[in-house]
Amino acid sequence: MFDLTGRVVVVSGGNAGIGLAFARGVARAGGDVVIWGRRADKNAEAAEELAGFGHRVLAQEVDVSDEARVVEAMAEVAEELGRVDGVIANAGLMRKERSFVEMTSQAWHSLLAVNQHGAFLTIREGARHMKRRHDAGDPGGSLLFCASLSALTGSPGMQHYNASKGAMAAMSRGIAVEAGRYGIRCNVVCPGYTVSETVQIPASSPLFERNRRYNPSGRAGNAEDFEGIGVYFMSDQSRFHTGDLVVIDGGWLANAGKTDITELPPWP
């Protein structure tokens, strides 16, 4: 049902964490994967793992805040692999400032340059290629933003991060409205607290304990929890699914921090 054989999917920030999980899911499902990352060593390590699934892998050094490089890299993908069927804008920074009133313009702009503007550039170039395919008689394509619960909730000292992730949600809806006529869909995934090689939550930390007590799933997420949703959105099984925001957080948002799960009475 979720066979991606012959599909080419670009994943920005695809050499670690949730981005690598997206790429791994695509490769497991038979797709060809392109990973974008700024570190050549991490790219090579990820590419070696993904190549083990037996499909084509292309690793490119890309800073998504560099428009010229994004344009060039997407053109290289189309030339080397022949097409682009899916793009996952996952590259991003997470920084916390002491408070909103002390947040500098430099801190604001440097984060948005990657998280918001980089995502815009990545998705735009993928959409441009998909439109050209449509005009050549080969319509279709899937665009996916990886946002965060921060698109929906407040985070002290992280208003720049909130803004960047909220922008993805708004931007995605606008893209979906324009792109549907070309067979192109656009959606957003919002991960909850997720532990990966890029984000660690020590077992002794208050955040770890809060996840255990207030997340209905009783834990933080793992990068591997996102392989399936990535495959779904890159496959034809999501062909009628566009303009949506999907939360993958183990139930954290549903609970809204109100109920200590460990104190609930057992079901009879």
Q: Write down the catalytic residue from 161, 193, 214, 232.
A: 161
Q: Which two tokens stand for residue 187?
A: 């959606």
**Residue 95 in contact with residue 65, Cβ under 8 Å?**
no
255, with CB counted inside 10 A (0-12, 13-18, 19+), is: middle
DSSP category for residue 266:
P
Q: Which two tokens stand for residue 230?
A: 């990535």
- Dihedrals φ, ψ of 155, to 5°? -135, 115
Handedness of CA 195, 197, 198, 204 (dihedral sign): positive
- Distance between alpha carbon 79 and the CA centroid of its chain, in Å? 24
User: Which three-class secondary structure state does DSSP give residue 88?
Assistant: strand
Give the strand pairing for 86-89 and 32-37: unpaired
The residue among 84, 16, 78, 26 whose CA lies nearest residue 233 is 26
Say whether 232 is catalytic: no
| Secondary structure (DSSP) of 223-253 | GGGGHHHHHHHHSGGGTT--S-EEEESTTHH
Between vectors from CA 246 to CA 29 and to CA 220, what angle results, nearest 5°?
Answer: 85
**213, 214, 216, 219: CA torsion to nearest 10:** -60
Residue positions annotated with a catalytic role: 161
